[in-house]
Each structure stands twice: as structure tokens, then as C-alpha cells.
Homo-oligomer: A and B are copies of this chain.
Amino acid sequence: MDFSIGALAREAEVKVPTIRYYEQIGLLAAPPRTEGGQRRYDAETADRLKFIRHARDLGFEIEAIRELLELTGAPERSCAAVDAIARRHLEDIEARMRRLAALRDELRRMVVECGHGRVSECRVLHTLADHRLCAHDHH
């Protein structure tokens, strides 16, 4: 069972140039080619690509993904390292959610007020500028 680059792209829901880009930066190994030079992928590569895509979706940076992929084969301490990476992203996501909730509430209030025919003083700027809503855990 082998995939053309396009079939792989559909399978993993990734764009074709993105696959070539991943090969270029060494995140995917260079696959075998047909007589005419076209790439042919196997199911294992498809899994690896799905893993990469999923991790990117989760907000992992390429280097973190490279780490995770390397840790896949490693024993014992791997788990702690992977856990640390996941925890970092979890904290970041939770902070983002808190701030989004604050902004959402403020926008909702504006829409409601608008529905009542009065566009009063806008507090969106104040909401977003508020230090207390800021989580200072940038990576």
C-alpha cells in the first residue's frame, strides 16, 4: 500500500507543499521514488505525518515535535520529558482560555447593548489591556 504525495496529503489532511517542506527540514525522511522520480510513501509515514499534524494542531513547535518523535524510540526517561512538554502547553492553553473568556464576555455585552440601540462606552480595550488577565507564561 503506497501513497503518492497527493494521496498522503489527503490522508493526513496536510497540504502537498507542506509535506515537501517537512522532508526538506528533516522532519520526514526522504521517501523512495518511482522510476520517474515521484515520491511514494508507506502507511508508516502516513502515521508519522498524522502525528506531526496533530501535534502542530496542539500548538507544538516543530522542534518540540522533533523531540517527541525522537523520544518515541527512547526508554525510561522519555515519559517525564514528554510530560514536561505537554504540561507547558496545557498551562499556555488554559491561560489563553481565561483571557478569551474575558474578551468574549465584553463583546457579548457590546452586542447586547447594540441590540438595545445604544452603543455606549466601549470597554473592550480596557478588558484586553487589563494586566490581571494576563498570564505571563510565554514560551
Query: Which residues does A use to contact B, with CB under 8 Å?
Result: 47-48, 50-51, 54-55, 57-59, 68-69, 71-73, 75-80, 82-83, 86-87, 89-90, 93-94, 96-97, 99-101, 103-104, 106-108, 110-111, 114-115, 117-122, 124-125, 128-129, 131, 133-135, 138
Contact = CB atoms under 8 A, between A and B. Distances in A.
A21 to B, nearest CB: 18
Contacts of A94: 104
Nearest to A116: B79
A90 B104 contact: yes
A124 B82 contact: yes
A45 to B, nearest CB: 12
| Identical copies of this chain, number | 2
Q: Dominant SS at the A interface?
A: helix
A102 to B, nearest CB: 9
B129 A111 contact: no
A69 to B, nearest CB: 8
Contacts of A131: 50, 54
